[in-house]
Amino acid sequence: MAIMSIADAYKSAIREEMRRDPSVYCIGEDEDIPGGMGGAFTVTKGLGDEFGANVRVALESGGFAFKGTENIGDDRVINTPISEILISGVCVGSAMAGMRPVADLQYGDFLFCMMDQLVNQAAKMCYMSDGKVHVPMVMRAPCGATNRGAQHAQSLESYFIHVPGLKVICPSTPYDAKGMMKQAIRDENPVLVFEHKLLYGGKRKEAGQLSATGEVPEEDYTIPFGQAAIRREGKDITIVANMLMWYKAMQAAEELEKENISCEIIDPRTLVPFDYDTVTKSLKKTGKLMIVHEDTYTGGWGAQLASWVAENAITLLDAPVVRVATPDTPIPFCPTLESYVIPSQQRIAEAARKLAKL
Amino acid sequence: MSNFPSNEKALGMYKKMYQIRKYEESIYYLFLEGIMPGTIHQSTGEEASAVGMLYDLRKDDWMASTHRPAGHDIAKGISVKAMMCEMFGKAEGCCGGKGGAMHTGDISVGVIPANAIVGGNLPIAAGVGLAFKMQKKDNVVVCFFGDGASNEGSYHETMNAAGIWKLPVVYVCENNMYSANTSISLTCCQKNVAADRAAVYGIPSEVVDGNDVLAVNEAAARAIARARAGEGPTIIEVKTYRHGGHSRNDACGYRPKDEEKLWIQGRDPVKNFRKVILEHNVISEEELEKVEAGIEQEIEEAVEYAKNALLPSYESALKNVYWEG
């Protein structure tokens, strides 16, 4: 076992998959520029040393030359123009032609610049051709509010669970990050990977980041999609929360334990496919469901889970479903306001106390 | 006509053009009869572009088309029968009845499912070209788009990168002068909407009479050779005209009648090339009429076959949302 950050776990997964399968390649803005960050959050930094990248190189005679532009196919780390339609379209086309692109979005908010390619193209090609073509591609989307204002802050996963043909995952431990990234790269369909900026633990420090380093096996492994993880066992309330939110729910649960409120915390890990079974099993024990996500309230994935439970498992409930989410606002810059709108340990604990009394 | 092709090739190109013309005509009448579902964006009048560009492409080269794909599809090698079945939404259609008129494709003959988002196919073709480069293949991609697509953001993002990376893609702008109803002169200040904007991306371009199949074919040969040799993309702008409307209910009230007469009667690519091959004694008129009758019969048979073919099972509507192997 090695101890590593989530950023390094992603890097390790991508590197090993690139070694294993020559069709895997990385593409994105600032993907690996010498002296740069490696994406926005260090995940792809250094991959160009092993797999080649289109970069500027210093000449011994002085001055610079540029390598890897005209012979772009020789390298497997591709630095692109700031052109999200291009990046996503290149992923779709190259995936149909036998490659396995892993694209870095820098900020998930930029997904909106490529919506046509993701929703009309990547998600529909297999279906429209009745399986004659398919699109194995990975889109890595850093998400979460981090004092950067409204356009570098969103938790976007719920937009994409509405699109048939896409898979949506949100790993949040180093072990999951590595195993699920490998699974995503080997998947035959487009997979959106949401990576929370405050959980990376990379060299780029973020205000409010959590330490999410952990053990990662040396040997090759994958984690199948559609299997939730029970982060904490409990008997009074089932809390389903993803990414940063389950960490906050864990802190709230410690607090609540002292008040004799026992919380079971489920991290769905993948939103498409969703592991409803694990939630149902937990509800048989607790009878109370609370959903926590950083995404805004209306139409978030919690709404889907709540309505699924209403349709399929309402008799297990002893109280109304409670959702704790960001209110329906853009994310404000002011750190105090940002902390106010993002679900906090206190808000989660308070909502759980009320639910426990019902 | 310094490089008039062999008789076999000239006749082969004519047969494809005639096949596309008759296919589109039969689709038109099937719509008028009200027995074909959906909508149509017909390529009648643009046959020389499709056939000239694609005639010499290898089967394992790829092609990316638009919402007006039938001519390209047939020229690249999808059978009329598989096309017709798809138009009727039948199980034996080239997309199992799940694609429809604007998404026809068959990757076994190098046809990417056609794209009904204007400009949507441009970066996808770049991606295919990048894949060919990474796989060290000498294949090329031909990507068609309309004059209207040259005003999409995807066009500029794609051409910028294709130029930097020297991708093996031939981008073909079929400039029929109208973006649906709107004259291209209202939406672009360049006379040659794609070619005049190619140089800024470092991409060579050509402007070609798109209704002259031999001129198109010669430009195609140059561009395909460049792409195959690793010298990068070319933008070919073919000047052409659609004989019908943008889509099924479009009576073209926005086009001047004398313009229509000039293009449809004076510059008909199929009729004109027929004259050319007869003048070059490629075939006797009597023999040619037999060839044409054979093509018409093949299309009639495809229509009858498609009408009677089975619909897809209901279960198929839920299949291949995710790839099933």
ipTM: 0.97
- B181 occurs within a structural domain: yes
CB distance from A312 to chain B under 8 Å?
Answer: no
pTM over 0.95? The answer is: yes
- Catalytic choice (A152, A162, A196, A293): A152
CB distance from A126 to chain B under 8 Å?
Answer: yes
CA distance B240 to chain A (A): 28
- B244 occurs within a structural domain: yes
Q: Which of A112, A52, A53, A115 is nearest to A89 (CA)?
A: A115
Q: How far apart are CA B31 and CA B49, in angstroms?
A: 25
For an interface test with B, give the residue of A21, A31, A86, A87 to mutate (most B CBs within 10 A): A86
For an interface test with A, give the residue of B65, B124, B152 to mutate (most A CBs within 10 A): B124
Q: How far apart are CA B299 and CA B15, in angstroms?
A: 13
Which amino acid is it at B218?
E
Please judge whether A73 and B136 are an interchain contact, meaning their C-beta atoms are less than 8 angstroms apart.
yes
Residues contacting A225, CB < 8 A, separation 6+: A167, A169, A180, A183, A187, A270, A273
Please judge whether B113 and A117 are an interchain contact, meaning their C-beta atoms are less than 8 angstroms apart.
no
Please judge whether A93 and B127 are an interchain contact, meaning their C-beta atoms are less than 8 angstroms apart.
yes
- Taking contacts as CB-CB distances below 8 angstroms, the residues of chain B near A225 are none
* Nearest Cβ partner for B130 among A88, A94, A188: A94
Chain A to chain B, count of Cβ pairs less than 8 Å apart? 165
- Taking contacts as CB-CB distances below 8 angstroms, the residues of chain A near B165 are 69-70, 72
Six-digit token string for A173: 């431990």
Closest chain A residue to B154 measured between Cα atoms?
A: A85
Contact B305, B84 (CB under 8 A): yes
The pLDDT tens digits of the residues spanning A56-79 come to 888 999 998 888 777 788 999 999
- What domain count does chain B have? 1
- B323 occurs within a structural domain: no
Burial of A226 (0-12, 13-18, 19+ CB in 10 A): middle
CB distance from A58 to chain B under 8 Å?
Answer: no
- B324 occurs within a structural domain: no
Please judge whether A93 and B124 are an interchain contact, meaning their C-beta atoms are less than 8 angstroms apart.
yes
> What pLDDT does residue B260 have?
95
Active site residue A134: no
Helix (H) or strand (E) holding A305: helix A301-312
> What pLDDT does residue A30 have?
94
- Taking contacts as CB-CB distances below 8 angstroms, the residues of chain A near B157 are 81, 83-86
Please judge whether A89 and B126 are an interchain contact, meaning their C-beta atoms are less than 8 angstroms apart.
yes
Contact B237, B175 (CB under 8 A): yes
Residues contacting B191, CB < 8 A, separation 6+: none
- Taking contacts as CB-CB distances below 8 angstroms, the residues of chain B near A129 are 95, 98-99, 103, 105, 107, 113, 320
Long-range contacts of B189-197 (CB under 8 A, 24+ apart): B192/B237, B193/B147, B193/B150, B193/B151, B193/B237, B194/B145, B194/B147, B194/B150, B194/B235, B194/B237, B195/B235, B195/B236, B195/B237, B197/B150, B197/B159
- B1 occurs within a structural domain: no
> What pLDDT does residue A73 have?
87
Residues 157-176 of A with CB under 8 A from B: 164-165, 167
For an interface test with B, give the residue of A29, A74, A85 to mutate (most B CBs within 10 A): A85
* Nearest Cβ partner for A72 among B123, B128, B130: B130
Contact B111, B76 (CB under 8 A): yes
CA distance B106 to chain A (A): 7
* CATH number (domain holding residue B97): 3.40.50.970
Average pLDDT taken over every residue of chain B: 96
Burial of A353 (0-12, 13-18, 19+ CB in 10 A): middle
Q: How far apart are CA A259 and CA B111, in angstroms?
A: 65
- B108 occurs within a structural domain: yes
Please judge whether B131 and A99 are an interchain contact, meaning their C-beta atoms are less than 8 angstroms apart.
yes
Please judge whether B154 and A167 are an interchain contact, meaning their C-beta atoms are less than 8 angstroms apart.
no
For an interface test with A, give the residue of B102, B165, B319 to mutate (most A CBs within 10 A): B165
- Taking contacts as CB-CB distances below 8 angstroms, the residues of chain A near B131 are 93-94, 96-99
Positions of chain A with pLDDT under 50: none
The pLDDT tens digits of the residues spanning B278-294 come to 999 999 999 999 999 99
Please judge whether B323 and A188 are an interchain contact, meaning their C-beta atoms are less than 8 angstroms apart.
yes
- Taking contacts as CB-CB distances below 8 angstroms, the residues of chain A near B200 are none
Q: Which of A112, A102, A118, A79 is nearest to B124 (CA)?
A: A118
Longest dimension (CA), chain A: 77
CB distance from A346 to chain B under 8 Å?
Answer: no
Six-digit token string for A154: 């969103």
> What pLDDT does residue B2 have?
56
DSSP assignment letter at B285:
H
Domains delineated in chain A: 2-216 (3.40.50.970), 229-357 (3.40.50.920)
- B287 occurs within a structural domain: yes
* Residue B290: alpha-carbon gap to chain centroid: 26
Helix (H) or strand (E) holding B173: strand B169-175
Positions of chain B with pLDDT under 70: 1-2
- Taking contacts as CB-CB distances below 8 angstroms, the residues of chain B near A72 are 130, 133, 164-167
CA distance A133 to chain B (A): 7
CA distance A101 to chain B (A): 10
Residue span of the structural domain in which B236 resides: 7-318
Q: How far apart are CA A304 and CA A162, in angstroms?
A: 10
Closest chain B residue to A67 measured between Cα atoms?
A: B165
Six-digit token string for A337: 């306001």
Contact B115, B66 (CB under 8 A): yes
- Taking contacts as CB-CB distances below 8 angstroms, the residues of chain A near B99 are 128-130
Contact B182, B214 (CB under 8 A): no
Helix (H) or strand (E) holding B70: helix B70-76
- B27 occurs within a structural domain: yes
- Taking contacts as CB-CB distances below 8 angstroms, the residues of chain A near B115 are 121
Please judge whether A165 and B321 are an interchain contact, meaning their C-beta atoms are less than 8 angstroms apart.
yes
CA distance A250 to chain B (A): 34
Six-digit token string for A51: 């797999």
- Taking contacts as CB-CB distances below 8 angstroms, the residues of chain B near A86 are 123, 126, 154, 157-158, 160-161
